[in-house]
Amino acid sequence: MIVAVVGDSISAGSPLWDPDPVVRATIAQPDERSQWQWWAAQRDPSLEFHPRAVYGRRTDEIASFVDDVVDGADLLVVQGGINDVAQRRSVEEAARNLAAIVARGRALGLTVALADVLPWPAGDDRAAREILRLNELIHAIEGVIPLPFHDTLARLDVPWSDDGDHPSVEGHRLLGEAAVTALARGRRTHARATGRAGARPDGG
């Protein structure tokens, strides 16, 4: 299954990885394990991830990435929002941008998964409040497989970030495992719904 991914530094693999080889060449000791997608593929080798994710990008900028990765894709993962919060943009607008990306993916016939926003260890109280509000809005977007990235990390009693902004390798591992579980559950639900929708009245 080809999984297209659009997002920011979280899906780019910061701080130790980047899908762009030019950017990756600037990392002193790159580590491919610094990607939640890498860990997801270890758990489920049928998943082939095609990311277009760039450090620092807001949701309005991530929207332009969709056409770069959807050719041949079966599923689209949408991830973003923390840079809107960091740049003090409206979280309501960020949620509308994410909903529009979801709608674009569904219009292309793709199953769409939507990640919520991670906690930000280095952020302040304002940022924490804005993240919670944005996640409320994200959770209200319908027709998606939810990827519970926030709670996967927020419930931990141990550090999951080395730089205060991005997941460590261990943090990425936890996100990847959460993503695999959510995607498998969501795909089963989607398959059942599609089967019901396609069934003939005589049950055939």
Parent domain of 145:
2-198
The closest of 122, 112, 51, 52 to 82, measured between CA atoms, is 122
Position of tokens 């394990």?
Answer: 33
Q: What is the mean pLDDT of residues 160-173?
A: 98
- Tokens 């940022």 locate to 127
16 vs 32: CA distance, rounded Å = 7
CATH number of the domain encompassing residue 59: 3.40.50.1110
**Would you say 64 and 113 are in contact if contact means Cβ atoms under 8 Å apart?**
no
> Residue 72 region, left (φ>0) first, then alpha (ψ -120 to 50), else beta?
left
d(CA 86, CA 69): 26
- Give domain status of residue 57, yes or no: yes
* Residue 19 and residue 51 in contact, taking contact as beta carbons nearer than 8 Å: yes
How many C-alpha atoms does 47 have within 13 Å on its Cβ side? 25
The per-residue pLDDT for 158 is 87
Query: Count of domains in the chain?
Result: 1
Q: What is the DSSP string of 113-162?
A: EEE-PPP-TT--HHHHHHHHHHHHHHHT--SSEEE-HHHHHHT-SS---S
Confidence of residue 195 (pLDDT cuts 50, 70, 90): low
Answer whether residue 15 is part of any domain: yes
* Residue 204 counted as domain residue: no
Percent of the chain with pLDDT over 70: 92
Is residue 203 situated within a structural domain? no
The answer to whether the beta carbons of residues 151 and 132 sit under 8 Å apart is no
Task: Count each helix (H run) and each strand (E run) in the chain, helices first.
Answer: 10, 5
Tens of pLDDT along 13-57?
A: 999 999 999 999 999 999 999 999 999 999 999 999 999 999 999
Q: Which one is predicted more confidently, 110 or 194?
A: 110
Dihedral of CA atoms 179, 181, 184, 187 in degrees, nearest 10, equals -60
Return the half-sphere exposure (C-beta side, CA atoms, 13 A cut-off) of residue 41. Answer: 15
Distance CA 137, CA 92 (A): 7
Residue 65: inside a domain, yes or no? yes
For 49-108, how does the pLDDT look when each residue is reduced to its tens digit (9 = 90+)? 999 999 999 999 999 999 999 999 999 999 999 999 999 999 999 999 999 999 999 999
Higher pLDDT, 3 or 192: 3
Assess if residue 178 is contained within a domain: yes
User: 75 - beta bridge partners?
Assistant: 3, 111
Residue type (1 letter), 139: H
- Give 192's pLDDT tier (boundaries 50, 70, 90): low
For every residue of 45-69, DSSP letters joined together read TT-EEEEEE-TT--HHHHGGGHHHH
For residue 201, the model assigns a pLDDT of: 39
